[in-house]
Structure 1
């Protein structure tokens, strides 16, 4: 039986998840298909109530604006893990022997990308689900973390994600200070970074969680400055590797699959 999976969100037509998941299934010789499905905010619970009954379903990836909405769904059919509740964000629904599980592979994606990198200070631009996943990924490392957010609405979720790590929350009007850190992580959508572009100074290492249209404004500046860059393509591929492992249950070398997916994505540049 051919299995199926999909990425859910709105807007969703720009998503590259179908490209890399279907390519992974091809490489793994796994009989499945993966598509993008438009699901608007407020419609996720209704959609899942219907779709999770399907026997051929592997699972779902979730992107904006559904990562926080998924955590708010109260359904006995979904088992949401503690970490996802702590960061108030999840991007993965997958099936195991106990039923449907919910987690955030964004955390593992960040940890994968940080595995061979040394730094002592980190600035994170933004406070959404991707930002809090980065905070959780860094929580057990002995680094100084500064979060620059545009409102205080998510401060409780930021603090919960930090798990007691050395973190400071700063107002957005101080974001020009962010560039002094060893590592700067941007999670602000590419069409909302004009204030960041004005104050940009090339950091030692920059991770831009955005990738569309390529190259995003901040990524372009880092490339022009010849600074070290972890692109949004790399984060997309890294978190997808962990989703694929959870959904398919196939054992594979994660470094190998990551390299293959990056090769596929680099062809789009």
Structure 2
């Protein structure tokens, strides 16, 4: 399989939509690094075999992990940073030849970057979803002072377990319940993604200074973001988090800082028709 060039990749199910190879390969070319970044379809039943096979490949530098493996992958890696206890999900696995597979999470840092760039401050947040991405985002929100978290979930028990894990006050409600007032609304679920039902709640309870953040990036303007813009609310799209978490992973895989001064050019590339 290998052409003897070092490579990293992203795995998931589905994976065809992933823009991570565009991002990493853009940075590799800009920096003149002789390496490659790929995407590989891996189902839940293939996960154990995948890590066993890749661990034996001397050219493999590691992988990013997307839906639905961010929690299950913890069972196949070492966790020296205590990510299982602190967050409960990983999105990055690093490998050095002959060494262990190290799991970590760049979602939390990638999620926070655009919020911090916009100098967001608030204590009340709403988050739709309670999966692997939600666990990292909840951890990130707690770290910047959010004290009241409303979780919008299908499985109430899963939502309560996440609140308990985060040690945060909050409520759990289903998707039919009206949203409360909050400083930030985050969609951490796959709703709104191409092929999935939309997430389009009534936003009337949000104050004018609230921010709406959707981590979905295919399509880039989801029904949620379109509704928020129509109300005049500030929005953050999924490319911001995607690029932010990718930059942290790029440093792990390729031992180089991503050229973030090229972000505008990169976004143009990501938005170009396939």
TM-score (norm 1): 0.86
Q: Which residue does 1:91 correspond to in 2?
A: 91
Answer yes or no: is the 8 Å Cα contact 1:126–1:188 preserved in 2.
yes
SS in 2 for 1:197: coil
Answer yes or no: is the 8 Å Cα contact 1:146–1:169 preserved in 2.
yes
Deviates more, 1:49-58 or 1:224-233: 224-233
How many correspondences in the alignment?
260
Q: Which residue does 1:225 correspond to in 2?
A: 231
Q: Which residue does 1:250 correspond to in 2?
A: 256
CA distance in 2, matches of 1:94, 1:23: 20
Q: Which residue does 1:41 correspond to in 2?
A: 44
CA distance in 1, matches of 2:158, 2:54: 30
Give the gaps of 5 or more residues in structure 1. Answer: none
**Shift of residue 24, structure 1, vs aligned partner:** 1.2
Q: How does 1:131-210 map to 2 (within 5 A)?
A: 131-143=134-146, 144-155=148-159, 157-159=161-163, 161-162=165-166, 164=167, 166-173=168-175, 175-178=177-180, 180-189=181-190, 190=192, 192-194=196-198, 196-201=199-204, 203=206, 204-210=210-216
Give the gaps of 5 or more residues in structure 2. Answer: none
Q: How does 1:207-218 map to 2 (within 5 A)?
A: 207-218=213-224
**Shift of residue 79, structure 1, vs aligned partner:** 1.3
Answer yes or no: is the 8 Å Cα contact 2:94–2:252 preserved in 1.
yes
Deviates more, 1:237-246 or 1:21-30: 21-30
Residues 1:237 and 1:251: Cα distance change in structure 2 (over 3 Å) = closer
Answer yes or no: is the 8 Å Cα contact 1:91–1:106 preserved in 2.
yes
**Shift of residue 237, structure 1, vs aligned partner:** 0.7
CA distance in 1, matches of 2:165, 2:249: 21
SS in 2 for 1:169: strand
CA distance in 1, matches of 2:91, 2:54: 17
Q: 1:8 aligns with which of 5, 8, 11?
A: 11
Answer yes or no: is the 8 Å Cα contact 2:107–2:137 preserved in 1.
yes
SS in 1 for 2:212: strand
**Deviation per CA, 1:7-42, whole angstroms, max 9, x where unpaired?**
101111111111111111112221111111110112
SS in 1 for 2:18: coil
Q: Which residue does 2:104 correspond to in 1?
A: 103
CA distance in 2, matches of 1:4, 1:264: 21
CA distance in 2, matches of 1:85, 1:71: 11
**Shift of residue 207, structure 1, vs aligned partner:** 0.4
Q: 1:265 aligns with which of 257, 270, 274?
A: 270
Answer yes or no: is the 8 Å Cα contact 1:149–1:169 preserved in 2.
no
Answer yes or no: is the 8 Å Cα contact 1:58–1:247 preserved in 2.
yes
CA distance in 1, matches of 2:120, 2:56: 42
> More helix by proportion, 1 or 2?
1
